[in-house]
Amino acid sequence: MTTWIRHKGWTWGFRSTVLLYFLALIVLPIFGVYVQSFSAGWSHFTESILDPIAWKAVLLTIKLGIISTFINVLVGTMIAWVLVRYRFPGRTLLNSLVDLPFALPTAVGGLMILLLLGPGSLLGGLAEKLGFEIVFHQPAIVIAMLFVTFPFVIRAVQPLLEELDPLEEEAAYTMGASRTRAFFKVILPSMLPGIISGGMLAFSRALAEFGAVVLVAGNIPGRTLIASVFIFGEVESDNPAGAAAVSVLLLTLSFLILWVINAVQQRGRRA
């Protein structure tokens, strides 16, 4: 009996510690942002959201986030396919480099893009001669978003490909299916939950990117100013309520994305 009481007490204490940590680290800060956004009243919240500069920053962030996500889904799926299906020299190194954006500070990523594609660089100078403007324009923002979100689709698709039973493919070929038909009928449905969840995570992460973007965007209102940099500017301008109002938009969108990801994963498990 005493042992049972001790075990229950330890279990309750462990759960309480985990819940307290989660509450302090995640729930309270998010709750604080929502409270701060309405601290000056509903009218100020509406004005902050409908401010032309804020609205354009949010729309630009969503647009460029969609572009970077679309590229990530295509390229990330292909990279995951190559890493799982092929054996070649340097494969292990390439597989480990996939997670590099997770390890690097995002500001370092922005500096790398600036040095590689900036006006004084070889590639940047060549692009200018060809009439392309990269750094301090929207293409640089997309590249920065691609860099920080690069691993998401790859790491979501890889385990699904590794778990795919080769017998299913062989059965499709035995029944006369071509490689293309077998891919779309057997392989792609197995990869689809990973593609969707990885793509949505990449999009959600792109919406929040600051460190890499702020160095390469130019931050021109209506043209290259994205939501995270706008929020930073509002805080610097001593307008925390306005910054929180725009943050609420991004937070709510991220919550919806995470809800969809969870629904997709639950459906995949039931299937």
* pLDDT, tens digit, 9 for 90 and up, residues 238-266: 888 888 888 888 888 888 888 877 776 67
**Residue 88 belongs to some domain of the structure:** yes
Residues 136 and 254 in one domain: yes
Residues 30 and 141 in one domain: no
Residues 17 and 123 in one domain: no
Structure tokens at 22: 């989660």
Residue 135's Cβ-side half-sphere holds a number of Cα atoms within 13 Å equal to: 22
**Residue 143 belongs to some domain of the structure:** yes
**Residue 115 belongs to some domain of the structure:** yes
Provide the pLDDT for residue 153. Answer: 93
The total of other beta-carbon atoms located within 10 Å of residue 176's CB is 7
Q: Token pair 């590689």 is at which residue?
A: 116
Residues 252 and 149 in one domain: yes
Indicate the range of 33-47, 63-77, 155-169 predicted with least confidence: 33-47
pTM exceeding 0.85? no
Confidence check: pLDDT of 131 > 80: no
Provide the pLDDT for residue 4. Answer: 44
Asked if residues 240 and 36 have their Cβ atoms less than 8 Å apart, the reply is yes
Residues 26 and 113 in one domain: no
Residues 6+ apart with CB under 8 A from 181: 172
The CA-based angle 48-60-99, given to 5 degrees, is 115
* Band of residue 2 on the pLDDT scale cut at 50, 70, 90: low
Q: Token pair 């500001």 is at which residue?
A: 107
End-to-end CA distance of the chain: 43
Q: Which of 4-13, 30-39, 48-57, 199-208 has the highest mean pLDDT?
A: 199-208
CATH number for the domain harbouring residue 145 = 1.10.3720.10
Asked if residues 60 and 225 have their Cβ atoms less than 8 Å apart, the reply is yes
Residues 121 and 177 in one domain: yes
Asked if residues 141 and 229 have their Cβ atoms less than 8 Å apart, the reply is no
Q: What is the pLDDT of residues 186-205, one digit of tens each?
A: 788 888 888 988 998 899 88
Confidence check: pLDDT of 161 > 80: yes
Distance CA 156, CA 127 (A): 34
Provide the pLDDT for residue 145. Answer: 92
Residues 93 and 26 in one domain: no
Residues 150 and 188 in one domain: yes
Structural domain containing residue 8: 1-37
Q: What is the pLDDT of residues 96-123, one digit of tens each?
A: 888 888 888 888 888 888 888 887 777 7
Provide the pLDDT for residue 146. Answer: 93
Amino acid at 189: P
With CA atoms as reference, report the closest residue to 141 among 69, 226, 243, 54. Answer: 226
Number of domains in the chain: 2
Confidence check: pLDDT of 3 > 70: no
Residues 114 and 180 in one domain: yes
With CA atoms as reference, report the closest residue to 250 among 54, 70, 27. Answer: 54
Q: Token pair 């494969």 is at which residue?
A: 91
With CA atoms as reference, report the closest residue to 66 among 155, 154, 141. Answer: 141
